[in-house]
Amino acid sequence: MGAGTVPQGEAARGEALRARVEAHLRAATGRPVEVAGVTPLGGGAVQDLLRVDVAGLDAPRFVLRSDAARPLPGSIDRRRELAVIEAARAAGVRTPAARWPAADLVRPGATALFLDWVDGEAIGRKVVASPALAGARTRLIDEVAVELARLHTITPASCPALVAALGAPPPDPLAAQVRALRGLADALRAARPAVEVALAWLGARPAPAPAVLAHGDLRTGNLVVAPEGLVAVLDWEFARWSAREEDLAWLCVRDWRFGQLRLAAGGVAPREALYRAYEAAAGVAVDRAAVRAWEVLGNVRWALGCLAQGARYAERPDLELAAIARRAPEMEWEALRLIDLAERGPA
Amino acid sequence: MSAPDGPELLLAVARFLDEDARPALIDPALADPALAFRARVGAALLRALAAEAGAAEALEAADLTRLRGVLAALDGRDDDLDGATPSESERRAALRTVERALCDRVRAGLAPADLTRVRAAVAEGLRARLAATAPGFDLSPEVE
């Protein structure tokens, strides 16, 4: 098969999808929309992500994001994601608008959303290193802190509709996550002493906290950055009621620093810069020790995430899935290192 | 746990070279940045496997001794190592058994001092493994 040729079955499926998308957009908007193309986007590790080029709407392209065939544990579906995105935007968070939900559009049984297209860089290792983004990096953490502070104004009391979508908030969000990760370790049949030790250490630290709407996956890699600064926050599939420290800690997890180890806040700023910017924006003191505990949990979560990717290798023998499973010991080491630091004294 | 093992990883890289990289070497129009990234992933995997091939036996033997010692200490007894040198498959199976037993003990609940002892032993094993297989990974306690 030469470059540019497409198997006929694939071409027919592509045309059928294009026609379905066009019909849906016409029905949803009441406008004579023409869809020029529906093409896969890279980077959709979990959800199906497609680019939709259109004529007849206010913008020439959109992202079409569909439920995954096999969602990851803890992720929400697109219907609930729509409710989260609308609440976040109402609170002033910069994230692309989601529109025109559609059942069975990309796959039977899957709901899809159309997201506004945003231009910028989202690849983490480029965000932390690209010379073109050097100016943006100097203020990126301040901007992210503002977005988080806006997001964390959303509470179960302020947004009862989200309680219906996401469920009731756990009284101790850290303990809830420890239980969830033990369940994930069991499901993976992962006898990992480091994971058990870290979860036992966390389990011995009751941490009741007022619930806020947490992004759940806010890291370098889910931020769109342009030379002018932060453009948008992406990917709400792990949104949940949690402690505000969970989002601050996840942004600091070592693997999202892309080699800039001393710049704990996403590989672009020292962690204290993040804490101070968040305190200034939110008017709330950051509990440093709580962030440390959530960062231990974040490393366990990502260690198990790596192992879960490896478990998928049996079904889809992909080089990256195989490689990522081998990285679990890095996260396990980091979790135990952070526990040592916490045991030695104040964070 | 079904993380792909060494032979599976070698086959994954072989498959990548044969099915993805080779066609792009013949027809440059098939090359793209994603393919180049996967080539980098494959090269890193091979380097890690090469490092591990020389170290695996010593790492597993040390892990087995260390973790058996910790388990014995939790029970207040001496380690009952029989002194025989097990085969590679026996050693690996024994290590999986000890890891599972240790996980069960930790999950069931340990006194803080015991948990600290287990943590130190597990961290020592991770340190040795990462030093051998991930030479670029910074193991200093104060990386930040």
A121 to chain B, any CB pair closer than 8 A? The answer is: no
Distance of alpha carbon A115 from alpha carbon A96, whole angstroms: 6
Contact status, residue A89 vs residue A227, Cβ threshold 8 Å: no
Distance of alpha carbon B144 from alpha carbon B128, whole angstroms: 21
Domain boundary among A62, A90, A116: A116
3-state secondary structure labels for all residues of A264-293: CECCCECHHHHHHHHHHHHCCCCCHHHHHH
pLDDT at residue A161 tops 60: yes
Q: Which range has the worst mean pLDDT, A95-99, A176-180, A263-267, B132-136?
A: B132-136
A201 to chain B, any CB pair closer than 8 A? The answer is: yes
Query: What is the tens place of the pLDDT at every residue in A31-54?
Result: 999 999 999 886 545 558 899 999
Across the interface, do B1 and A190 touch by the CB < 8 Å criterion?
A: yes
Across the interface, do A192 and B103 touch by the CB < 8 Å criterion?
A: yes
Inter-chain CB pairs, A–B, below 8 Å:
131
Considering only the beta carbons, identify the residue of B30, B48, B123 that sits closest to A326. Answer: B48
Across the interface, do B4 and A325 touch by the CB < 8 Å criterion?
A: yes
Clarify whether residues A17 and A62 are in a common domain.
yes
CATH value at residue A153: 3.90.1200.10
Clarify whether residues A43 and A59 are in a common domain.
yes
Contact status, residue A306 vs residue A331, Cβ threshold 8 Å: yes
Task: Identify the band that residue A276 occupies on the pLDDT scale cut at 50, 70 and 90.
Answer: very high
pLDDT at residue A3 tops 50: no
Clarify whether residues A35 and A180 are in a common domain.
no
How many structural domains compose chain A? 2
User: pLDDT value at position B1?
Assistant: 44
Domain boundary among A57, A88, A116: A116
Q: Where are the domains of chain B?
A: 6-133
A4 is a domain residue: no
Across the interface, do A191 and B3 touch by the CB < 8 Å criterion?
A: no
Across the interface, do A193 and B42 touch by the CB < 8 Å criterion?
A: no
Question: What are the backbone dihedrals phi and psi of residue B106, each rounded to the nearest 5 degrees, phi first?
Answer: -65, -45
Instruction: Give the pLDDT mean for A128-132.
Output: 97
- The mean of the pLDDT values for chain A is 92
Domain boundary among A74, A100, A116: A116
Instruction: Give the pLDDT mean for B41-54.
Output: 86
Across the interface, do A332 and B109 touch by the CB < 8 Å criterion?
A: no
A312 to chain B, any CB pair closer than 8 A? The answer is: no
Q: Domain range spanning residue A39? A: 11-116
Clarify whether residues A267 and A332 are in a common domain.
yes
Helix H segments across chain A?
A: 8-29, 78-90, 124-127, 134-151, 160-166, 173-187, 193-203, 244-252, 271-282, 288-312, 319-325, 328-344
A2 is a domain residue: no
Q: Which range has the worst mean pLDDT, A154-158, A198-202, A231-235, B57-61?
A: B57-61
Clarify whether residues A191 and A284 are in a common domain.
yes
Q: Reduced to 3 states, what is the DSSP secondary structure of residue B52?
A: helix
Considering only the beta carbons, identify the residue of A189, A307, A329 that sits closest to B126. Answer: A329
Clarify whether residues A39 and A152 are in a common domain.
no
A344 to chain B, any CB pair closer than 8 A? The answer is: no
User: pLDDT value at position A347?
Assistant: 53
CATH value at residue A77: 3.30.200
Report percent pLDDT > 70 for chain B. Answer: 94
Query: In angstroms, what separates the C-alpha of B83 from chain A's closest C-alpha?
Result: 25
- The mean of the pLDDT values for chain B is 88
Q: Which residue of A has its CA nearest to B47?
A: A323
Across the interface, do B143 and A261 touch by the CB < 8 Å criterion?
A: yes
Instruction: Give the pLDDT mean for B32-42.
Output: 87
Please calculate the CA angle A198-A199-A200 and round it to the nearest 5 degrees: 90
Query: In angstroms, what separates the C-alpha of B82 from chain A's closest C-alpha?
Result: 24
User: pLDDT value at position B63?
Assistant: 95
Residues 136 through 175 of chain A touching chain B, CB cutoff 8 Å? none
Clarify whether residues A78 and A154 are in a common domain.
no
Clarify whether residues A102 and A241 are in a common domain.
no
Considering only the beta carbons, identify the residue of B9, B13, B123 that sits closest to A336. Answer: B123
